[in-house]
Structure 1
């Protein structure tokens, strides 16, 4: 009898590969990933590229929170200038709208913190494939060409690394991605306040939250900043502390 489909052994191997525990890389790799992440976040030219990753996470946070609070998600748009827009339908005020507005700037840092927890427990492959699943789900709601290209490119990079490269390369990439989210989550808060001071962001998340809650926009900027910095400190501590006896 000819068997059509994937052999059970292959599925078992794939599952073992997915949920298996990988040993942590040498500390030099972790430090190198942190230095590289900071290096690409600092200069304006490289930040214009890497900020797209932060924007994807930002808009994904808005979208997921909207769904969790009972709102109807209509569209996600990602633009070439690194801005984004998430459109949802529902009550224009209330806790759901406030939670949705709060989520954007905090999500990259929270994802970085979650990634740090997964990495320090040796779940490198789980982290990479979870990212693929989230990106694929987000892709369904993208409603502009640049957004589709941006998300598909990110999916392609993560998939190629997780499927075709060695365990050492996967670990280095995963640590770089987490550092990028942790450190990259802080810089947009500084940029937000700079734009608000110049009157260039009247419809920013902070200003929309100010109108919803009657708390000043500066309060929300400070709230975002404290949250992202706290995530960076905790996530950095998790990533830099010795994790296994096998660390170099």
Structure 2
């Protein structure tokens, strides 16, 4: 592939991204379609073999949540580390007080928030828009990665999102968006349960816990921060379930 081919590919990909900024008819799935979508979402997010890979995506969203929260307070994001063991870190200009607390909170809840938004987008006709925005954000993530494993993960996610934008049939965009959204919600619950186990059974890992770090910064018990994460995650799950139930005709 020569330079002209690469330029042509990039131009076509960009055109498809721009074409995605539209609203289509919302997903109106049959019961069978909903069952298949749910099965796919659970298949990528529950079995340990598949979670090894999908969990990397959830971790990337987690760290992007910290980064976005930092940017909303005016903090400079210096970089993001992602690792194959599904750990990660977001580095920003040092600060204290409410800005640091705000940044530290928005990690674990963000995959659930994004998942809920994707579920809503699938039923409201914004699937194409959401996937185009996601592809651009994952591509921009490459600018902030500061470690080798993170580069591999970020490149893989950017390629996956790019291929999705390129090859996913328009008729299936709602299905894909819903499956990813449910997967992120399941992933958020899994990560929270893993964090809870750090505070109950694997306390030697406490130093890396967002709840522990927030407790040290604020003087409030870590259990309150765990509860705060849980409230946001649970609210997102309930909203997503309500949206799915309404689409399935289970709500009057």
TM-score > 0.5, shorter chain as reference: yes
Are 1:95 and 2:98 matched, yes or no?
yes
CA distance in 2, matches of 1:97, 1:13: 38
Find the counterpart in structure 2 of residue 68 from structure 1: 72
**Structure 1 pair 54/163, CA: closer, same or farther in 2 (3 Å)?**
same
Are 1:186 and 2:178 matched, yes or no?
no
Q: 2:217 aligns with which of 185, 207, 212?
A: 212
Are 1:40 and 2:44 matched, yes or no?
yes
Question: 1:163-191 CA deviation, whole Å, 9 max, x = no partner?
Answer: 22312333322111111111211111111
- Contact 1:66–1:72 (CA<8 Å) still a contact in 2? yes
- Contact 1:72–1:89 (CA<8 Å) still a contact in 2? yes
Segments of 5+ residues of structure 2 without an aligned counterpart are 1-7, 9-13
Shift of 1:35: 2.4
> TM-score when scaled to structure 1?
0.86
- Contact 1:120–1:243 (CA<8 Å) still a contact in 2? no
Name whichever of 157-166 and 202-211 sits farther off: 157-166
- Contact 1:25–1:172 (CA<8 Å) still a contact in 2? no
Find the counterpart in structure 2 of residue 121 from structure 1: 124
- Contact 1:59–1:104 (CA<8 Å) still a contact in 2? yes
Find the residue that maps to 2:205 and give its secondary structure: coil
- Contact 2:26–2:123 (CA<8 Å) still a contact in 1? no
Segments of 5+ residues of structure 1 without an aligned counterpart are 6-10
Shift of 1:15: 5.2
> TM-score when scaled to structure 2?
0.85
Are 1:234 and 2:234 matched, yes or no?
no
CA distance in 2, matches of 1:110, 1:216: 24
